[in-house]
Structure 1
Amino acid sequence: MSIPISIVDAFTSVPFRGNPAAVCLLDEVRDEQWMQDVAAEMNLSETAFLQRRDDGSYDLRWFTPTIEVDLCGHATLASAHFLWENQHVALDRIASFHTRSGLLTAERTEEGIRLNLPSEPAQPMKAPEELIQGLGLIPRYVGKNRMDFLVEVDSVQTVQTLKPDYAMLAKVEARGIIVTSKGTGKPGDYDFVSRCFYPASGCDEDPVTGSAHCALAPYWQRRLRQTSFMAYQASPRGGELFIELQNDRVLLSGQAITVVQGQLTGK
């Protein structure tokens, strides 16, 4: 039996930009190894697997080509887009997802799709030597949450020109490394920029990382003393995000566009 699967570019309204995620709608329970094999076959930073519950909400799991992860923003945004576009959820209804990180929701707004995700603040921590060597710099700040290291550097230019040693970063005991800096302060510029590296999770550099902004939002709230942000992830594909921090939740808004629709025929 064939299974619907799409590739959706998230955090962009233009094809071949933002962050691509595969979205697979299951008609029955599948074992973890099968889902991991599909994710390896798709070879994208994330493949999302959806299964409908009786109440109209969905179970949602995320797999990189090598592991299952606890939280993924861009694949959640892609999943909501997939459900609305294919009329599995009415356009005026909120899409609800049961995940390893609790209940997540998505709704359509004038700014695009708005995700409601948990805040994941980082706590200050001494930088491992592998992190220093892998980035090739001395950070202004290093912290860690349950998933990632968060590193502040001195400028937007440093973020943009960084050439990590991925083999060294893969030795860091974390899902990945988020590198960020304050924006330039020029009118119309972004409040902060970032890049995200996940070599230990099967993705050297992630194009646009929703879950990273669950750590970035509370960090920059303390640094900039504001609760809403325009942010840019400065990967080669690039992505723009509008963020609001509300207590222990991060509201993350962005666009999405489907670039591939098909059927998965492998058993």
Structure 2
Amino acid sequence: MKTYFVDSFTNEKFKGNPAAVCIVENDIEEKAMQNIATEIGFSETAFIKKISDNSYSIRFFTPKMEIPLCGHATLASSKIIFDTTSLTKIVFVNINNVELVIEKSGTKIKMQFPVYETEEIEVPQNMLTALGINEIVNKRYSPNNKIILIEIKDTKTLADLRPDFLSLVNSYEGINGVLVTAQSESIDFDFHYRYFWPWAGTNEDPVTGGIQTFLTKYWATKLNKNKLNAFQSSARTGKMNTELNDNKVFIYGEAVTVFEGVFKN
């Protein structure tokens, strides 16, 4: 099974978010996919299988579990297909039969994702303590993603967060992660964010695209603009452009392939 390592949402090797992409020729068991994802250890490993000339099934596994949607692993998979075929537009179909339309857009790859609503939620104090947050601006919840959104007042506080992950996991049940975000003080970006998800994946995801299914609409509404520049202030850092249009979110990003090999049976 051909396997690639790709750094997503960056144009530099060893930056952005690494994802593994496995090209599946024949069906394999979920247990095998989970074992491979756990062995590789990246926040996500994508398994893609050709359905027709320009459509592929795609499944995402963290080291702990399968998840329905992942932005950076979709970008990584698109990068591999565009680099190894003559296609300029493809459609991925995920485990929930959601179609993700992907196309080349200059030097970047444009991904079309659904938009999900958020709702009010109470965030317990022990979660804020575990995150190291003393003051919040707003809090929301994405039921589709099972992710809590917390807005804080400045990007420096965001970048300096050093969560107690054991306490964080014990502070709440039944979610996949916590997204912390702040409005940017820089003219280069509209908002910054970090994503912590020890419940379902790794402690912190370096660069996260899937959360734009609700985060782009959150900031588009707040800032009254539909085109936004986002910065993820993790240790590896990453950036992307997003656009809210007709209840869809478009995510623009670049990716760099860093490894190609074969996973043996």
Q: TM-score by structure 1 length?
A: 0.93
Residue 105 (structure 1) aligned with residue 106 (structure 2): no
The AA in structure 2 aligned to 1:182 is Q
Moved more, 138-147 or 236-245: 138-147
Contact 1:47 1:75 (8 Å CA) reproduced: yes
Deviation string for 1:81-103 (max 9, x for gaps)?
0111122xx243x1110113500
User: What SS class does the counterpart of residue 169 from structure 1 fall into?
Assistant: helix
> Which contiguous aligned blocks of 4+ residues in structure 1 show a shift greater than 6 angstroms?
none
The AA in structure 1 aligned to 2:212 is H
Residue 49 (structure 1) aligned with residue 47 (structure 2): yes
Correspondent of 1:122 among 115, 118, 121: 118
The AA in structure 2 aligned to 1:144 is Y
- Name the counterpart of 2:22: 24
CA change 1:4–1:198 in 2 (3 A) is: same
Distance 1:253 1:163 in 2: 29
- Name the counterpart of 2:182: 181
How many angstroms does 1:165 deviate by? 1.2
How many angstroms does 1:18 deviate by? 0.4
Deviation string for 1:197-228 (max 9, x for gaps)?
11111310111000112221011012111111
In the TM superposition, 1:217-236 aligns within 5 A as: 217-236=216-235
Contact 2:139 2:151 (8 Å CA) reproduced: yes
Distance 2:124 2:26 in 1: 43
Distance 2:22 2:240 in 1: 24
How many angstroms does 1:136 deviate by? 2.6
The AA in structure 1 aligned to 2:227 is S
Distance 1:24 1:41 in 2: 13
In the TM superposition, 1:76-155 aligns within 5 A as: 76-87=74-85, 90-92=86-88, 94-101=89-96, 102-137=98-133, 138-146=135-143, 147=145, 148-155=147-154
Sequence identity of aligned pairs in percent? 34
How many angstroms does 1:17 deviate by? 0.4
How many angstroms does 1:195 deviate by? 0.5
How many angstroms does 1:196 deviate by? 0.6
The AA in structure 2 aligned to 1:116 is Q
How many angstroms does 1:130 deviate by? 4.0
Contact 2:81 2:87 (8 Å CA) reproduced: no
Q: How many residues align?
A: 259
The AA in structure 1 aligned to 2:14 is F
Deviation string for 1:36-71 (max 9, x for gaps)?
000001100000000111353111000000110121
The AA in structure 2 aligned to 1:142 is K
How many angstroms does 1:119 deviate by? 1.1
Q: TM-score by structure 2 length?
A: 0.94
Distance 2:29 2:231 in 1: 36
- Name the counterpart of 1:67: 65
Unaligned 5+ segments in structure 1 are: none
Contact 2:8 2:76 (8 Å CA) reproduced: yes
Contact 1:121 1:216 (8 Å CA) reproduced: no
How many angstroms does 1:158 deviate by? 1.0
Distance 1:110 1:54 in 2: 25
- Name the counterpart of 1:168: 167
The AA in structure 1 aligned to 2:94 is T
User: What SS class does the counterpart of residue 33 from structure 1 fall into?
Assistant: helix
Distance 1:251 1:85 in 2: 21
- Name the counterpart of 1:260: 259
How many angstroms does 1:142 deviate by? 1.2
